[in-house]
A and B are shown apart, each in its own frame.
Chain A
Amino acid sequence: MTLVELQIFKEQLLADLDTISSTDQLEAFKLAHLTRKGSIAALFERLREVSKEEKPQFGKELNLLRQTIEARFADKEALIGSSSKRSKDAIDLTMPARPIIVEEPGHEHPLMRTFNEMIAIFEKMGFAIAYGPEVEDDEHNFGKLNFPPDHPARDMQDTFFVAPNPTWKIGGDDEHVVLRTHTSPVQVRLMETQTPPIRAIVPGRVYRNEAVSARSQAAFFMIEGLVVDKGVTMADLKGVLLSFAKQLFGSDVKIRLRPSFFPFTEPSAEVDVSCYICGGKGCRVCKHSGWLEILGSGMVHPNVLRASGIDPEIYSGYAFGFGVDRTAMMRYDVSDIRDFFENDLRFLSQF
């Protein structure tokens, strides 16, 4: 007997199990393989013939085989409802539901708590909420947002690609689709389907192909905002962001806009909030700068407006976006972002 033979035998048993459709067949299978005189027990007998070196490996594989077959048999038994099983612990599935006893309320996930709080702030300020797909085409995730093909700006967002259909092959004709790297494609979809005034936030999950570390996670949550109307200015952007920062961090905080670059905005601004831990004096959290970088923003680039059918000569707009994780980390003094995704109840029960 070899390991390969063992594997073939296992696959044969699984295939046999698949074809079973009656209690009689089920009984026959049990008799042939799972009883003390069945084929699996016989295999254990033959373990004696195996050489000493191979024995541990064989024993392990054999145990695995038995567990797998027994588990699959139990499932099949439940599915078909073998008489022996039913008489033992069959239950009446049509009985009414059990009342739910609540000993203590459940715990909010800190990330979702922060996320919901942020969304609520924007709702209060009159922003609509928009959602969109997480699997996107290149055109909405990049093209219409003024990322030219073969442009280094694309390096700013490392992208996951997914196969567009189940028969996809490497090097085939089908174009990849992407997991959205930001929620901006939803902004494009908004502008394509609505006429200004538009005033909305887009909360949701985004994906970046970055090695997981204490500071970064491949799938995280973002909120982006978009306002398009006649006469919208950067002063409006500043006003809204300051209001948001004060509502989230406290009425004492200040914000600072500094020039930056995003392909979809011009002018672009990185936004810092004065460190609410030290009040701007400088501490470990703000790396002694007094400021915490919280979001990116700017005036919607005329190419982006045009690509969505909005005339930049008539309308202007601002946009902003930020990740939720970093802020939640700072708020709760969580030093490793991975703690949020472990879902350890000893961690979650603190919230």
Chain B
Amino acid sequence: MKISLNWLKEFTPVPFTPRELDDRLTMLGIEVEKIEDAASQYAKIVVGEVLEVEKHPNADKLRLTKVTIGNGEPLRIVCGAPNVRQGLKVAVAMIGADLGEGFVIKKSKIRGEVSEGMICSERELGLSENHEGIWELPQEYAVGIPLAEALGKSDVILEIGITPNRPDCLSHLGIAREVSAITGEAVSLPKVSLSPSSSRSKITVTLLDPDLCPRYAGRAIHGVKVGPSPDWLKARLEALGLRPINNIVDVTNLVLMECGHPLHAFDSAKIKDGKVIVRRAEGFATEFITLDGKKRKLDTETLLICDSEKPLAIAGIMGGENSEIAPTTKDIFIESAYFLPSSIRRSSKRLGLSTDASYRFERGADFEILNYALDRATSLIVELAGGEVAGDRVDVYPVPAKPKTFAFRPPRADALLGMRISETQMLDVFARLHIGVDQAKKDTWLLTSPSYRIDLEREEDAIEELARVIGYDNIPLATFERIPLPTTKEPLTQRELDLILRSELLALGATECVSSPLIATDEAKLFHDVPVVVVNPLNIETNRMRTSVAANLLDIARRNERFGAEGQRIFESGTVFAYADDKQMIGKIEERREVGVLLTGIQESKSPYNAATQKADIFLAQGFAEQLIKRAGIAALQAIPLADAGALKSWPKAASFLAADRSIAVKAGEATLAIAGKVSQSVQDAYDIRHDVYIVLVDYDLLFDVLKRSRIEGKKVKPLPKYPAVERDLALVLKADVSGANLQKEIEQSIPKELLSGVRIFDEFRSPEMKSSGERSLAVRIILRSSERTLEEQEVEQVITHVVDKLSKNLGARLRV
């Protein structure tokens, strides 16, 4: 909302500079968003007239000018503009003028010639981007007057932001009351005098729905002459960003800006039978053309101002085309009413129509200012448009509102604010705010809020008023606060797991990404068949909730590939969403946390220690999955082909977004904690990524549960071994379709349990002969140890021979020689 400082001063003294007023209002909770202060912005800039123009002796493009600014010797100014010429009226920045960004005009020499100021272009004055030449002012501007004055901008306009609880501040009167709370000076409204009328009004008002319109006042004026407003009125409205329309409408707008109460003027010739009926639309009208010419569908609950046969206005929101003030209008009826805020808000939302009037009514108007606003508008209209007041004011107010009162216990202020306030100080603040105080009971005062302060209804509100006026700056600063001591054992917190996973991923060379969970339908559907629908999305690209962080990671990978990234190792951790049947959920929406890692392109570059580059593959993806989970604290893991993992609750479409021959599941016992694999060709194509992409997805929630359980159960150390271990390596040739896991299992089963300490595959090799015969060689290290004795050479040989026999018999393996 815009406030004119000059106008504000008509209500109450303002003993502050604009900057001070900004500070004081801000500290009172009235945010000043912008100050338009042309006078200080254009300080030392005046209207001048060019008397002479000569060539600059040392520069082709510069001219020497003499410019008069009224008094004293003409100024010598060097000017480079092509349009400078004798007789031109120009804006002259005198020495000391500040054009912003540290550009202050000084007396100077330009190519050897003295310059005592600057002739400005529009851009230099911040008025437009025009820098073609100097600004040519209208010839009627008087030489020597300040530019701001010549432009009619001697006022200061404050742009003010008002929070929704303070509709009383949405006017000059309202801001004046706040200023008076600071200064303690009185606030006065313009005096209104109405000459008594001889003619009688034929307008009657009936409230059919007093629950939505508890008070309705109005007055008829006969014989007005509709026409343009006088200049002072137009200027006042324009300064506040309002467009003048005609003298009747302009007066209602002026009164709105003045005291904050929305009025509406009807052409009373259009009010059938002179009957104004305030009622719900139900059973009366279903559509209506508002004065902006739009046909609006009406809800049954919408409150209307009607006559005996048709609607005339949507109450508190907008008038109708059928009764608007036209150039030919002679008789008018002015409405000044109070409408129920929630009703106006509902109708305004449903119609998608917000106006200056609805904005105020939905926040809460002042019951008691209706008649003043009406009288003020009446007297101005009679003054500006002629006409005669017809009859008395109509004021239908079946159940007058009672002033709001509430209890206030003075010590509570200290208890909430931590600040001592004396009772005298409290009484002073309440007086400045026109809050009534009844001290009949010493400990519990009874406060009465002014009718315009709809936000004051309880003790805490009054305490805020005290703090606000005394100043939040005066609230002391506590330096010590009691901390509740924890009394429960938390085996694992989400924060702890978050930090472990994050630091491990960073240590593994993965870069952290953050993206929006709002994504496109096509992408969301790649990971879940029925992604959660956003009902009112910003656009169709963001109308679903993400079903996996993979959706975001793939999008990121695509973009970075475009920017030339050779290899990417990135991760994102976040919430994913899907519909579920669990009634416990809000809606039927399940939220899961997921940690995703994406690997694509080169993962190991050539270096003095590495002869060849290595691209992302399934075993690297597997490494990430296992490493993360192990680092979190679960050591016993098993990786199996994804195809053998069965249906996965967390990733129902894993088989379609991952390629089965390049994907695994990582399990701890029965729980599938992660999946890792190559993104299927169709998904890779959907994202238009060139390189093969590998994805690791960790089921955070499940990992958290498993981990928490294992921590509760605890871990006990085993005694250290007393006897040495023996290692034997075997190089075996096997059919290529014998899997590593199979080999490992077979070896483990053929060694007595009490001697088995570990089995590890450490090499894979295929000679050309093996390739042609469909074979490969795997090298295995077997570690044996007894807890009771040092193993004898002979015993070890026996075990190993047995193992080789078993492998030969069961897997067709032979030793490589």
> What residues make up the interface of A, taking CB atoms closer than 8 Å to B?
67-68, 70-72, 74-75, 78-79, 81, 85-86, 90-109, 111-112, 116, 119, 123, 125-126, 128-129, 131, 133-137, 148-153, 155-156, 160-166, 168, 170, 176-177, 179, 197-199, 205, 207, 209, 211-212, 217-219, 227, 229, 231, 233-236, 238-240, 242, 256-261, 266-270, 299, 301-302, 316, 340-346, 348-349
Q: Closest approach, in angstroms, between the C-beta of B781 and any C-beta of chain A? A: 12
Q: B509 is contacted by which of A100, A166, A176, A219 (Cβ under 8 Å)?
A: A100
Inside 8 A of B223's CB, which chain A residues have their CB?
none
When the two chains form their complex, are residues B603 and A86 in contact, meaning their CB atoms are under 8 A apart?
Answer: no
Q: B661 is contacted by which of A91, A95, A134, A344 (Cβ under 8 Å)?
A: A91
> What residues make up the interface of B, taking CB atoms closer than 8 Å to A?
26-29, 31, 163-166, 341-342, 345-346, 362-363, 415-419, 458, 460-461, 463-464, 467-468, 472-473, 475-484, 486, 493-495, 499, 502, 505-518, 530, 532-538, 542, 545, 556, 559-560, 563, 565, 568-571, 574-575, 577, 579, 586-589, 591, 603-605, 607, 610, 614, 617-620, 622-627, 639-641, 643, 655-656, 659-664, 680-682, 684-685, 739-742, 744, 760-761, 764
A270–B614 alpha-carbon span in the complex (Å): 54
Inside 8 A of B764's CB, which chain A residues have their CB?
95
Q: Closest approach, in angstroms, between the C-beta of B543 and any C-beta of chain A? A: 10
When the two chains form their complex, are residues B164 and A346 in contact, meaning their CB atoms are under 8 A apart?
Answer: no
Whether A348 contacts B513 in the complex (CB less than 8 A), given A71-B682, A234-B475, comes out as: yes
A235–B473 alpha-carbon span in the complex (Å): 10
Q: A135 is contacted by which of B479, B591, B656, B742 (Cβ under 8 Å)?
A: B591
When the two chains form their complex, are residues B482 and A197 in contact, meaning their CB atoms are under 8 A apart?
Answer: yes
When the two chains form their complex, are residues A162 and B29 in contact, meaning their CB atoms are under 8 A apart?
Answer: no
Q: Can you list 25 contacts pairing A with B, beta carbon distance less than 8 Å?
A: A81-B660, A93-B618, A93-B662, A96-B760, A97-B619, A97-B639, A100-B620, A100-B624, A100-B627, A112-B502, A123-B495, A134-B575, A135-B577, A135-B587, A160-B535, A162-B589, A163-B533, A177-B587, A199-B483, A218-B516, A231-B415, A238-B475, A266-B463, A267-B464, A343-B513
Chain A, residue nearest B577 (CB)? A135
Whether A239 contacts B478 in the complex (CB less than 8 A), given A71-B682, A256-B473, A266-B461, comes out as: yes
When the two chains form their complex, are residues A95 and B761 in contact, meaning their CB atoms are under 8 A apart?
Answer: yes
When the two chains form their complex, are residues B464 and A343 in contact, meaning their CB atoms are under 8 A apart?
Answer: no
Chain B, residue nearest A236 (CB)? B478
Q: Top 3 A-B pairs ranked by shortest CB distance? A: A235-B418, A259-B29, A233-B418
When the two chains form their complex, are residues B739 and A234 in contact, meaning their CB atoms are under 8 A apart?
Answer: no
Inside 8 A of B537's CB, which chain A residues have their CB?
160
Q: Closest approach, in angstroms, between the C-beta of B416 and any C-beta of chain A? A: 6
Q: Closest approach, in angstroms, between the C-beta of B297 and any C-beta of chain A? A: 15
When the two chains form their complex, are residues A98 and B622 in contact, meaning their CB atoms are under 8 A apart?
Answer: yes
A46–B560 alpha-carbon span in the complex (Å): 39
When the two chains form their complex, are residues B511 and A165 in contact, meaning their CB atoms are under 8 A apart?
Answer: no
When the two chains form their complex, are residues A109 and B513 in contact, meaning their CB atoms are under 8 A apart?
Answer: yes
A13–B435 alpha-carbon span in the complex (Å): 79
Number of A-B contacts (CB under 8 A): 331
A260–B362 alpha-carbon span in the complex (Å): 19
Known: A116-B499, A119-B495, A125-B483. 18 other contacts (CB 8 A): A72-B682, A95-B761, A96-B760, A97-B620, A97-B627, A100-B508, A101-B603, A101-B614, A106-B569, A112-B502, A131-B494, A150-B345, A165-B588, A209-B538, A227-B481, A233-B415, A256-B473, A260-B31
A125–B481 alpha-carbon span in the complex (Å): 9
A103–B464 alpha-carbon span in the complex (Å): 58
A245–B469 alpha-carbon span in the complex (Å): 25
Q: Closest approach, in angstroms, between the C-beta of A216 and any C-beta of chain B? A: 11
A170–B534 alpha-carbon span in the complex (Å): 12
When the two chains form their complex, are residues B467 and A151 in contact, meaning their CB atoms are under 8 A apart?
Answer: no
When the two chains form their complex, are residues A94 and B739 in contact, meaning their CB atoms are under 8 A apart?
Answer: yes
Chain B, residue nearest A176 (CB)? B535
When the two chains form their complex, are residues A235 and B506 in contact, meaning their CB atoms are under 8 A apart?
Answer: no
A166–B525 alpha-carbon span in the complex (Å): 13
Inside 8 A of A229's CB, which chain B residues have their CB?
482, 484
Chain B, residue nearest A128 (CB)? B486
When the two chains form their complex, are residues A233 and B416 in contact, meaning their CB atoms are under 8 A apart?
Answer: yes
Whether A261 contacts B164 in the complex (CB less than 8 A), given A67-B685, A94-B740, A98-B617, comes out as: yes
A240–B478 alpha-carbon span in the complex (Å): 8
Chain B, residue nearest A163 (CB)? B533
Q: Closest approach, in angstroms, between the C-beta of B404 and any C-beta of chain A? A: 16
Chain B, residue nearest A174 (CB)? B587
Inside 8 A of B508's CB, which chain A residues have their CB?
100, 102, 106
Q: Closest approach, in angstroms, between the C-beta of A93 and any C-beta of chain B? A: 4
When the two chains form their complex, are residues A345 and B639 in contact, meaning their CB atoms are under 8 A apart?
Answer: no
When the two chains form their complex, are residues B533 and A152 in contact, meaning their CB atoms are under 8 A apart?
Answer: no
Inside 8 A of B570's CB, which chain A residues have their CB?
343, 345
Q: Closest approach, in angstroms, between the C-beta of A149 and any C-beta of chain B? A: 8
A299–B466 alpha-carbon span in the complex (Å): 14
When the two chains form their complex, are residues B481 and A240 in contact, meaning their CB atoms are under 8 A apart?
Answer: yes
Q: How would you classify the secondary structure of chain A's contact residues: helix, strand, loop or mixed?
A: mixed
Whether A68 contacts B563 in the complex (CB less than 8 A), given A258-B26, A348-B512, comes out as: no
A199–B682 alpha-carbon span in the complex (Å): 50
When the two chains form their complex, are residues A235 and B680 in contact, meaning their CB atoms are under 8 A apart?
Answer: no
Inside 8 A of B482's CB, which chain A residues have their CB?
197, 229
A97–B764 alpha-carbon span in the complex (Å): 13
Whether A151 contacts B345 in the complex (CB less than 8 A), given A81-B661, A135-B591, A266-B461, comes out as: yes
When the two chains form their complex, are residues B342 and A150 in contact, meaning their CB atoms are under 8 A apart?
Answer: yes
Chain B, residue nearest A227 (CB)? B481
Q: Closest approach, in angstroms, between the C-beta of A5 and any C-beta of chain B? A: 23
Whether A162 contacts B514 in the complex (CB less than 8 A), given A134-B575, A268-B464, comes out as: no
When the two chains form their complex, are residues A218 and B518 in contact, meaning their CB atoms are under 8 A apart?
Answer: yes
A112–B509 alpha-carbon span in the complex (Å): 17
When the two chains form their complex, are residues A267 and B467 in contact, meaning their CB atoms are under 8 A apart?
Answer: yes
When the two chains form their complex, are residues A267 and B463 in contact, meaning their CB atoms are under 8 A apart?
Answer: yes
Q: B563 is contacted by which of A78, A116, A344 (Cβ under 8 Å)?
A: A344
Inside 8 A of A340's CB, which chain B residues have their CB?
514
Q: Closest approach, in angstroms, between the C-beta of B299 and any C-beta of chain A? A: 13
Q: A94 is contacted by which of B363, B545, B560, B639 (Cβ under 8 Å)?
A: B639
Inside 8 A of A133's CB, which chain B residues have their CB?
586, 591
**Which of A70, A218, A233 has the most chain B CB atoms inside 10 A of its CB?**
A233
When the two chains form their complex, are residues A150 and B484 in contact, meaning their CB atoms are under 8 A apart?
Answer: no
When the two chains form their complex, are residues B542 and A106 in contact, meaning their CB atoms are under 8 A apart?
Answer: no
Q: Closest approach, in angstroms, between the C-beta of A155 and any C-beta of chain B? A: 7
Whether A74 contacts B575 in the complex (CB less than 8 A), given A102-B508, A341-B516, comes out as: no
When the two chains form their complex, are residues A129 and B661 in contact, meaning their CB atoms are under 8 A apart?
Answer: no
A160–B123 alpha-carbon span in the complex (Å): 42
Inside 8 A of A209's CB, which chain B residues have their CB?
536, 538
Whether A235 contacts B618 in the complex (CB less than 8 A), given A92-B739, A229-B484, comes out as: no
When the two chains form their complex, are residues A112 and B163 in contact, meaning their CB atoms are under 8 A apart?
Answer: no
Q: Closest approach, in angstroms, between the C-beta of A107 and any C-beta of chain B? A: 4
When the two chains form their complex, are residues B739 and A259 in contact, meaning their CB atoms are under 8 A apart?
Answer: no
A302–B406 alpha-carbon span in the complex (Å): 15
Q: Closest approach, in angstroms, between the C-beta of B40 and any C-beta of chain A? A: 14
Q: A238 is contacted by which of B362, B478, B740 (Cβ under 8 Å)?
A: B478
Chain B, residue nearest A194 (CB)? B484
A166–B255 alpha-carbon span in the complex (Å): 52
A241–B342 alpha-carbon span in the complex (Å): 36
A124–B473 alpha-carbon span in the complex (Å): 27
When the two chains form their complex, are residues A111 and B514 in contact, meaning their CB atoms are under 8 A apart?
Answer: yes
Q: Closest approach, in angstroms, between the C-beta of A16 and any C-beta of chain B? A: 16
A91–B362 alpha-carbon span in the complex (Å): 69
Chain A, residue nearest B167 (CB)? A152
When the two chains form their complex, are residues B511 and A233 in contact, meaning their CB atoms are under 8 A apart?
Answer: no
When the two chains form their complex, are residues B418 and A236 in contact, meaning their CB atoms are under 8 A apart?
Answer: yes
Inside 8 A of A101's CB, which chain B residues have their CB?
603-604, 610, 614
When the two chains form their complex, are residues B661 and A259 in contact, meaning their CB atoms are under 8 A apart?
Answer: no
When the two chains form their complex, are residues A343 and B559 in contact, meaning their CB atoms are under 8 A apart?
Answer: yes
Inside 8 A of A316's CB, which chain B residues have their CB?
415-416
Whether A104 contacts B760 in the complex (CB less than 8 A), given A150-B346, A161-B535, A164-B587, comes out as: no
Chain B, residue nearest A349 (CB)? B511
Inside 8 A of A219's CB, which chain B residues have their CB?
516-518
When the two chains form their complex, are residues A91 and B479 in contact, meaning their CB atoms are under 8 A apart?
Answer: no
